């Protein structure tokens, strides 16, 4: 018996099941949606303000506010090599938050109603969103590193190690995007997504080794920083750039990224299917 719905076996609501769409078609859909999202940025360049301005503000703020206190007055340049790799972790998390608010806003504007009538895999909409946000994250990281070099940061290892630090931060940031997509699909407003995200972001960012060595913290907070995935990422990026022993920080960060993705990506896709 042929499947109920419209022509060609497409369901009546215009959607297509994931199992009905081959890999090549799925990749084609993702490519088209990536192009659409990129064109949106072209027509609305203000949407890049956070990716462009945040790295500049953060580097200047933390180097000249915290640098003197941590590295000693007049030694801010020494602090640059400590904080910039840590800020790479912070950049990924802040860009990831924007994904959740953006997808929530798309539902409010009716953008998702158009996708509902198209014979595409639901996951392709979310994957395309992540691909574009990864691009924005790389732009933010490039500006962050550029600011770091202007303030005297040195790569004491090799260019490959620097690229490894960037890649590690990007992979971890992409995994966090699934969490914020899930929040964006679950909460009612973009403001609620942003509020909940800040409640999560602030303790993770400041209760980590991004800005200061954990040894300077109280014992209970030092214990929290050791299990904080942002600390592992910051330590890994810092070790790669400064030619220091990496230890297990890279593998722990990758394990976190894989675990977060395996748990939250299926939940986000399932929630998206139900909502569309």
Cβ–Cβ under 8 Å, residues 10 and 119:
yes
Looking at per-residue confidence, does 137 or 4 come out higher?
137
Decide if pLDDT at 187 tops 90.
no
Q: What is the pLDDT of residue 2?
A: 42
Q: Which helix (H) or strand (E) holds 215?
A: none
Alpha helices in the chain (DSSP H): 23-43, 49-65, 67-71, 76-109, 111-116, 122-150, 159-186, 190-206, 219-227, 229-241, 249-275
| pTM of the predicted protein model | 0.84
Q: Give dist(CA 98, CA 66) in Å, integer.
A: 26
Structure tokens at 167: 């890649």
Q: What is the pLDDT of residue 117?
A: 65
Cβ–Cβ under 8 Å, residues 69 and 192:
no
The predicted-structure confidence for 53-98, as pLDDT tens digits, reads as follows 999 999 998 888 877 677 666 667 778 999 999 999 888 888 888 8
Mean pLDDT score of the chain, rounded to an integer?
A: 83
Q: What is the pLDDT of residue 150?
A: 93
């Amino acid at each position: 018996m042929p499947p109920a719905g419209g022509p060609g076996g497409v369901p009546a609501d215009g959607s297509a099941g994931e199992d009905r769409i081959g890999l090549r078609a799925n990749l084609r859909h993702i490519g088209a949606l990536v192009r659409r999202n990129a064109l949106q940025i072209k027509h609305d360049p203000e949407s890049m303000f956070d990716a462009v301005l945040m790295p500049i503000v953060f580097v200047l703020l933390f180097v000249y506010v915290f640098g003197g206190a941590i590295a000693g007055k007049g030694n801010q340049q020494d602090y640059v090599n400590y904080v910039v790799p840590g800020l790479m972790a912070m950049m990924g998390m802040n860009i990831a938050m924007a994904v959740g608010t953006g997808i929530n806003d798309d539902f409010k504007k009716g953008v998702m109603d158009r996708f509902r009538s198209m014979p595409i895999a639901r996951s392709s909409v979310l994957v395309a969103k992540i691909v574009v946000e990864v691009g924005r994250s790389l732009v933010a990281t490039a500006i962050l590193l550029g600011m770091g070099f202007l303030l005297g940061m040195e790569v004491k290892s090799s260019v490959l190690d620097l690229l490894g630090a960037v890649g590690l931060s990007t992979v971890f940031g992409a995994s966090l995007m699934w969490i914020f997509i899930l929040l964006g699909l679950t909460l009612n407003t973009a403001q609620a997504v942003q509020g909940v995200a800040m409640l999560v972001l602030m303790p993770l960012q400041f209760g980590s080794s991004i800005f200061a060595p954990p040894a300077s913290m109280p014992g209970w907070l030092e214990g929290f920083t050791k299990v904080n995935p942002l600390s592992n990422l910051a330590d890994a990026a810092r070790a790669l750039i400064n030619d220091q022993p990496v230890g297990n920080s890279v593998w722990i960060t990758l394990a976190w990224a894989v675990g977060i993705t395996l748990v939250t990506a299926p939940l986000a896709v399932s929630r998206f299917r139900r909502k569309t």
